[in-house]
Amino acid sequence: MRVQKHFDIQHHNTFRVSAHVRYFVEAEKEEDVPSAIEMAEHLGYPIMVLGGGSNMLICSDLNRVVIHPNLQGIKEHHYGTEVIVEVGAGVNWHQLVRYTVERGYGGLENLALIPGTVGASPVQNIGAYGVELKDVFVDLIGFHRDHGRMVMDAGACRFAYRDSVFKGDFKDAFVVCSVRLRLQKQAKLNLSYDALQREIQKRRHEPKSPAELADLVAEIRGSKLPDPELIGNAGSFFKNPILSAGQYNALKAEFPDMPGFPTASEQVKSSAAWLIEQCGWKGARRGDAGVYDKHALVLVNHGRASGADLWSLATEIRQSVFERFNIMIEPEVNVLRDA
Ligand code: EPU
């Protein structure tokens, strides 16, 4: 385990904002995690877990012991037509997707090119193109600050749209070490998502294997979402708002183009990108903090924006959406600030 003091995490968050943390601890094996937690208790600082830093906005220096799980390795267990993969928290998510589709295993292809690490994937129940992590999730192993080592199945993780217990009761108290996912050797491809259908019709070619579908998803993502290696961003900055049927219908009468997708309950999921675009924000800038010009849901750091600059832009956007549509959109990224 490697410990660094007063460490700048600029290269450990995809917004590329500079911020110093009290201690930065790299955990290379499972036993390092309880040691890091013990160290934080001893020093009297709260812990925070930082994987790829691809879903957070850091608005100040942090008085915390930051644990960076760097546990590697992918193990396969075969049961008839199923494969259970057991994956270290530090494995890059897209590398895992590539590993599985190259072997013909189905399940992760719609989740190609999502930035971040495997350990972070359950935290916000990552999802894209009609699939969510919870659809393939078996269980995970990790350490809780107060309860020690725990094995948690999907029920215990309380997965919901971009949400889980790790964003709620277990926030800043739990470190994921490894995750087990259930994949299929005879893949059934999920091509139902609108944007996928449109692209398939345009090309007049339907993907036939997980690898082909992963390539298509990666192409669509690449054309709409900025590459964090080139421009600082954290993917979707806001969650899509979930409205009651009543509120949605009233708005739809006033704004006939407003998108709406039915959810399992009686509610309707609308599009935060659409709301933001209607308020004129697409491509807008406040200094180096901006709204991406190809997708209104993505905030970008054009260079030297601080976390506070980006948050102040986000606040302006939320206010203007609220004034126009009476909807308060909520951030999807974790916004962090210590006094
Ligand atoms: N739209 C606009 N303006 C835009 C972009 C989109 O009006 O600039 C509208 C369109 O009507 C479009 C609708 O928004 O039909 C939905 O757009 P899109 O398919 O791009 O998906 P999204 O709802 O904006 C969600 C996820 C993405 C995920 C895509 C694809 C959330 C918060 N975001 O975005 O996830 O890749 O669907 O499944 O649910 C992420 O979480 O970081 C992320 C990128």
pTM exceeding the 0.75 threshold for the entire prediction:
yes
pLDDT in tens, 127-138: 999 999 999 999
Q: Where are the domains of the chain?
A: 2-69, 74-184, 232-336
CATH 3.30.465.10 is held by the domain 74-184: yes
Specify burial of residue 189 (Cβ count, 10 A radius: 0-12, 13-18, 19+): middle
The residue from 30, 109, 199, 332 that is catalytic is: 332
Is residue 162 part of the annotated active site? The answer reads yes
Mean pLDDT of 210-234: 96
CATH 3.30.43.10 is held by the domain 2-69: yes
233 lines ligand 1 (CB under 6 A): no
**Closest residue to atom 33 of ligand 1, CA basis:** 236
CA atoms of 44 and 39, how far apart (whole Å): 8
List, in sequence order, every residue forming a beta bridge with 144; answer none if it has no partner.
Answer: 148, 174
Is residue 178 part of the annotated active site? The answer reads no
Average per-residue pLDDT for the chain: 97
Distance (angstroms) between ligand 1 centre and the Cα of 20 equals 32
CA atoms of 317 and 329, how far apart (whole Å): 9
pLDDT in tens, 66-110: 999 999 999 999 999 999 999 999 999 999 999 999 999 999 999
Distance (angstroms) between ligand 1 centre and the Cα of 155 equals 27
CA neighbours closer than 13 Å in the CB half-sphere of residue 322: 9
- At the topology level of CATH, where does 232-336 sit? 3.90.78
Q: Which one-letter amino acid corresponds to residue 218?
A: A
The token pair that represents 61 in the structure block = 């220096």
**Closest residue to atom 40 of ligand 1, CA basis:** 236
**Closest residue to atom 6 of ligand 1, CA basis:** 273
CA atoms of 271 and 268, how far apart (whole Å): 10
Is residue 132 part of the annotated active site? The answer reads no
pLDDT in tens, 226-245: 999 999 999 999 999 999 99
Distance (angstroms) between ligand 1 centre and the Cα of 273 equals 6
Instruction: Name every residue whose Cβ is closer than 8 Å to that of residue 49 and which is 6 or more positions away in sequence.
Output: 66, 67, 68, 69, 119, 172, 174, 175, 176
Task: Give the pLDDT of residue 264.
Answer: 78
The residue from 22, 64, 162, 318 that is catalytic is: 162
For residue 263, pLDDT beyond 90? no
Atom of ligand 1 nearest to the CA of 115: 42
